[in-house]
Amino acid sequence: MRGSMLEVIRQDYIRTAQAKGLSERVVLYKHALRNAVLPIVTILGLSLPGLIGGSVIVESVFAIPGMGQLAVQSVFARDYPVVMGLLTIGAGLTLLGNRLADVCYGVVDPRIRVAGRSE
């Protein structure tokens, strides 16, 4: 976030907003922050399904009962319906994470709107 913010602050439109006499708070929060937060939204949207992968490792190492340990035990026992169910949940989380990221893009960046709407 820091690197993205520093990169955005060096852009010409930030200097233009400052030259127009806008306050530093308006320039930072309204102009710079909205553009700097886009990479963070992308990373957060894609990290949601990664939580399942992390749970496999953590639950296996610390012997915590949960979905991760269930996945490992199901693979070793060749319990295919449980494995397919867990993969379906992972795919659903991937779709949900991507959908949340897309919605957040529309909220953060006013240039990104729903296509196909006639106005």
- How far is it, in rounded angstroms, from Cα 47 to Cα 52? 10
pLDDT for 118 beyond 90: no
Per the listing, tokens 């992390």 go with 54
Mean pLDDT of the residues in the chain: 85
pLDDT tens digits, 41-93 = 888 877 877 777 788 888 888 988 988 889 889 999 999 999 999 999 888 88
- Token duo for residue 12: 């010409």
pLDDT at residue 119, as a whole number: 53
Share of the chain above pLDDT 90, in %: 13
Structure tokens at 83: 């494995």
Specify the pTM: 0.67
Q: H/E element holding 105? A: helix 80-108
Q: Which residue has the higher pLDDT, 32 or 53?
A: 32
**Residue pair 1/36 in contact by the 8 Å Cβ criterion:** yes
* Domain extents in the chain: 1-36, 44-109
Q: Which residues contact 100 (CB under 8 A, 6 or more apart)?
A: 45, 48
